[in-house]
A and B are shown apart, each in its own frame.
Chain A
Amino acid sequence: MSHSVEKIMSPAAGRVVQPDRLLVRSLVGGLVTSLPVLVLGLLVLNLAPTYYTYLALAAFVNLIVVVGLQVFMGNSNIANLGHSAFVGLGAYGVAVLSTPLAMKKLSIPHAPFGFATLQLDPFSAALVALLAVGIVAAVSGKVISRLSGVAATIVSLALLIIVHSVFLNWTDLFKGNQAFFGIPKVVGLPWMMVLSVVVIVLARLFKDSRWGLQLRASAQSPQAAAALGIDARRLRLMAWILSALICGLAGVLYAYFAGTISPKLFYFQQIFITLAMLILGGMATVTGAVTGVIVLSVGLEFIRSIESGVTIAGIQLPQLLGLSGVALGVVIVLCMAFRPGGISGRYELDEQLSRLLRRSA
């Protein structure tokens, strides 16, 4: 083949591909996106009473889960209903590995493979737990990446049910339905904030990378993507594993701040709330994931506070138990009806800002 090239192919074209500049742009973009999270975190850290610190920690865990969910769903456009399996694996992983031996004697004295007499420091335990998450993700991802659409979603759901059953029924290792307590509480708000920023930036870097771009392309037109030589399966697998690792990290952090976990924490309730956050915020962008978490966390907490009955201007409102569930449903229905792309739509926060600047300039 002789590419006698003149017009579109010029010898000086090397500068067109500027990976460095693109890298810097998505790095900055990720940091801009995580700014609101940082500000809210710092406010809570410095001003709010302890009760709110605890709420904020839980919200940060949700944030990391939702960003992890976005990495797979937002780029591959396949609904994932199994991500809590990885959150649970991360949490139970560090529970089994890092709980002090004295505690283990009480809770899991018959643990197999010598886990009853093994105690790792929290950092090593987290690494090993994430390794386990990665292995489960690689195996399940092999199946999921071959499928698309509804079939892949059903497989993700099956994964959730399998992992949940294992937690429930392998009582020697996971204590079954009972709470697993005594996990070292080593994570506070500062760590949670730092890792949230890391995860947000990571998700953005993946989205803007050549893999993220090709994966998004293949989700929009599989035939055209194939005709451009894109191996969609490999890219879906990549996104699935990265997504699982981020969700696993959320589980690790949850276990390390709460100290106590149980299987029901990592089941349908969490799946539904985190999916709602992502869809409400807009799953196409990392900004959407962050927006959804902030809006729903604050909104739900507000509703919960009036749920138990409050007095406004001398009028005692009755107890409205279950209001938060109703409100959650209503918000999702309204959002889907009027803004199916979610609150933040197709553009990241920094892209929206630069568009605004360009328009006003």
Chain B
Amino acid sequence: MLSVEAVSKTFGGVQALRNASLSCAAGEILGLIGPNGAGKSTLVNAISGVLKPDAGRVRLEGKDITGRGPEFCARAGIGRTFQTIRLFKDLTVRQNVEVAHITCRAVRPDVAERIDIDRLLAQYELDGVAHALAGTLSYGSQRRLEIARALALGPALLLLDEPAAGLNENESEVLAIAIEGIRQDVGCATIVIDHDLRFINRLCDRLCVMDQGQVIMSGETSEVWRDPRVVEVYVGQSQPA
């Protein structure tokens, strides 16, 4: 599905990514973790086309999408959410989702036909507020709307950048169930970045650990935590495993 091959990116002398590689298969939930400044968001931005890597390749379903820009990557099938919520605040909840569906209808009509916006809203508990302006929703609902909107794009790959940030334990659990639901319903590849390790461990099939711009370890979730390098990175971190 997605393969990232030896991607590097430098910002004015600071090497944010060094030869970072990862892959994610359809139906898989991959957790991307690491301390602050490890390069997780930079890698997500390189995958979704926001940043153009200095070196390396990003392939989606075998197609080279390296540095083609966010619009191209979205049309190629990458849906994403943002670390800080970016909704269309003065549009209604339903319109937010429709905007994504319009693109899907244009580029993948067969997929679009099978997406039922009302059902999608109901699934993310947004059917009651479908006609409210997105900016008026509570924080948790805004997080859910961002995911619902990304799904209306009919993505082959879903990138979730800190979806559980600011949610309490209950809300995180509801969110985790919803993300597992995506795997069953949509079958897309999913990459989740989060600092909440309990949330990550519960949700992800595999983990990819980053530190100082490098992917230092990737593998099955349980196996990753047995690796001494990972433990070293996380020793002294606020949330040990």
Interface residues of A (CB under 8 A from B): 1-14, 16-17, 210, 213-214, 216-217, 220-221, 223-231, 284, 346
CA distance A264 to B218 in the complex (A): 70
Interface residues of B (CB under 8 A from A): 1, 26, 48, 50, 61, 69-72, 74-75, 77, 79-80, 82, 86-91, 95-96, 98-103, 105-107, 111, 113-120, 123, 133, 149-151, 153-154, 156, 181, 184-188
The listed residue (B77, B82, B102, B115) touching A1 by CB distance below 8 A is B77
The 7 closest A-B pairs by CB, nearest first: A9-B114, A229-B74, A13-B116, A229-B103, A226-B70, A224-B86, A229-B75
CA distance A213 to B72 in the complex (A): 19
Chain A residues positioned under 8 Å from B186 (CB to CB): 3, 5, 8-9
Chain A residues positioned under 8 Å from B86 (CB to CB): 221, 223-224
The listed residue (B77, B106, B119) touching A8 by CB distance below 8 A is B119
Q: Who on chain B is nearest to A221 by CB? A: B86
Q: Who on chain B is nearest to A341 by CB? A: B90
Q: Contact: A230 with B71, CB < 8 Å? A: yes
The listed residue (A7, A16, A216) touching B90 by CB distance below 8 A is A216
A7-B88 contact, Cβ under 8 Å, with A16-B116, A227-B74: no
A-B contacts, 24 listed (Cβ < 8 Å): A1-B26, A2-B26, A2-B187, A5-B114, A7-B119, A8-B116, A8-B119, A10-B116, A13-B114, A16-B118, A17-B101, A210-B102, A216-B88, A216-B90, A216-B91, A220-B89, A221-B87, A221-B88, A225-B99, A229-B72, A229-B74, A229-B106, A229-B153, A284-B90
Q: Contact: A3 with B70, CB < 8 Å? A: no
Q: Contact: B88 with A13, CB < 8 Å? A: no
A226-B74 contact, Cβ under 8 Å, with A3-B114, A5-B114, A213-B91: yes
A228-B103 contact, Cβ under 8 Å, with A4-B187, A8-B123: yes
Chain A residues positioned under 8 Å from B106 (CB to CB): 229
Chain B residues positioned under 8 Å from A220 (CB to CB): 88-91
- The winner among A214, A223, A228 for most chain B CB atoms within 10 A is A228
The listed residue (B72, B120, B185) touching A6 by CB distance below 8 A is B185
Q: How far is the CB of A127 from chain B (nearest CB, A)?
A: 32
Q: Who on chain A is nearest to B134 by CB? A: A220
Chain B residues positioned under 8 Å from A223 (CB to CB): 50, 70, 82, 86
A13-B187 contact, Cβ under 8 Å, with A7-B119, A216-B91, A221-B88: no
CA distance A224 to B96 in the complex (A): 10
Chain A residues positioned under 8 Å from B107 (CB to CB): 229
CA distance A14 to B101 in the complex (A): 12
Q: Contact: A217 with B88, CB < 8 Å? A: yes
Q: Contact: B71 with A8, CB < 8 Å? A: no
- The winner among B1, B71, B99, B185 for most chain A CB atoms within 10 A is B99
Q: Contact: B119 with A214, CB < 8 Å? A: no
Q: Contact: A1 with B88, CB < 8 Å? A: no
Chain B residues positioned under 8 Å from A2 (CB to CB): 26, 187
Q: Contact: A229 with B118, CB < 8 Å? A: no
CA distance A103 to B226 in the complex (A): 94
CA distance A242 to B72 in the complex (A): 26
Chain A residues positioned under 8 Å from B150 (CB to CB): 227
CA distance A12 to B119 in the complex (A): 11
Chain B residues positioned under 8 Å from A5 (CB to CB): 114, 185-187
Q: Contact: A3 with B154, CB < 8 Å? A: yes
CA distance A54 to B102 in the complex (A): 45
Q: How far is the CB of B81 from chain A (nearest CB, A)?
A: 9
Q: Who on chain A is nearest to B156 by CB? A: A1
CA distance A231 to B69 in the complex (A): 11
- The winner among A1, A14, A210, A346 for most chain B CB atoms within 10 A is A1
A13-B90 contact, Cβ under 8 Å, with A1-B1, A1-B26: no
A-B contact sample (9 more), CB < 8 A, given A11-B114, A216-B91: A2-B26, A5-B187, A14-B113, A17-B101, A217-B95, A221-B86, A227-B74, A227-B79, A230-B71
Q: Contact: B103 with A230, CB < 8 Å? A: yes
